[in-house]
Amino acid sequence: MLPIKKILVPIDVSDVSLSELSMKALSWASSFATESCSTVYLIAVIENIQSMYDAYEEENVLGQRKSEALVRVNEILDEAEKQAKDMCIQCIVRVVQLGVPYQKIIEVAADEKIDLIVMGTHGRTGITRLLAGSVTEEVIRHAPCPVLVCPTTHPHHNN
């Protein structure tokens, strides 16, 4: 097996706290990280906050919204970092990006020469997947390294 020295774990920042999805991915990443003394990169991507109405908003209002998003994202990363340390992950790097989540994940994976991406998936199907899109699916298609996908639930086990 190739050595896994750098693991990228995208942290879901769409909620107000560390999601079950992120916790599952972090748990899987910790298995690899503790086994091979890997560095774990926790990446949080703040989607572009601007909307079609923003042309009418004052610049200071937009700045305030970005500032609030950054505070919330850093709180979630604080929680993720604490959990990672509790899972005996020794080396943790935090990355915050602004943009399209799958593009930033792929960009950081390439720039940092990541060996493995570990991320969760909601497992949506049908119209929900079509409307919501899938960051995970796009990462799988374009990633410069292997991607381990962890579902939030296993179809044959109760969690």
For the 6-151 domain, the top CATH level (class) is alpha beta
Q: What SS3 class is residue 13? A: coil
CA distances from 87 to 16, 17, 24, 91, 92 (A): 22, 18, 12, 11, 12
Looking at residue 62, its pLDDT comes to: 66
Q: How far out from the chain centre does Cα 157 lie?
A: 25
Among 5, 4, 8, 3, which Cα is nearest to 93's? 8
- Give the pLDDT score at 136: 87
- Return the pLDDT at 26: 94
Which residue stretches of the chain are H helix?
Answer: 20-36, 59-86, 101-111, 126-132, 135-142
* CA–CA gap between residue 82 and residue 93 (Å, rounded): 12
Per-residue pLDDT of the chain (159 residues; tens, 9 = 90+): 678 999 999 998 887 788 888 999 999 999 999 888 999 999 999 987 665 455 556 666 667 777 888 899 999 999 999 999 999 999 999 999 999 999 999 999 999 999 999 998 765 555 544 444 588 889 999 999 999 998 765 444 444
- Cβ pair 16, 116 in contact under 8 A: no
What is the reported pLDDT for 156? 42
